[in-house]
């Protein structure tokens, strides 16, 4: 499945590009993103459990890239905080 160009355009704008970037720029970035995800998925499948990609596999693959590693740690922490907040919200509204 390909990333929709509007999503790529919005991400590009969010990172400082023009609100309407060149179509060629969007297409190139989309191709790079798909290539990166495909390669990471194949690598993760080769090191983890057969036929399954786990978060730990991705963390292992990016462990030597400080920027990616820090971003993944931030996203995983944020994900845990959101899970706790949802659980607290559900318990407060619906009982446990």
Q: How far apart are CA 31 and CA 36, in angstroms?
A: 9
Say what the pTM is.
0.72
Q: By CB neighbour count within 10 A (0-12 exposed, 13-18 middle, 19+ buried), where does 44 fall?
A: buried
Q: How far apart are CA 20 and CA 94, in angstroms?
A: 44
Fold of 1-49: Histone, subunit A (1.10.20)
The pair of structure tokens assigned to 67 is 């920027």
What value does the mean pLDDT of the chain take? 90
The pair of structure tokens assigned to 43 is 């690598």
Give the pLDDT confidence of 34-72 residue by residue, as tens digits: 999 999 999 999 997 877 899 999 999 999 999 999 999
């Amino acid at each position: 499945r390909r990333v929709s160009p509007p999503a790529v355009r919005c991400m590009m704008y969010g990172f400082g590009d023009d609100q309407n970037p060149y179509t060629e720029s969007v297409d190139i970035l989309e191709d790079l993103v798909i290539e990166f995800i495909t390669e990471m998925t194949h690598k993760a499948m080769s090191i983890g459990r057969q036929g399954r990609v786990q978060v730990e596999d991705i963390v292992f693959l990016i462990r030597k890239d400080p920027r990616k590693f820090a971003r993944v740690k931030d996203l995983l922490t944020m994900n845990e905080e959101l899970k706790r907040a949802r659980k607290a919200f559900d318990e407060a509204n619906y009982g446990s």
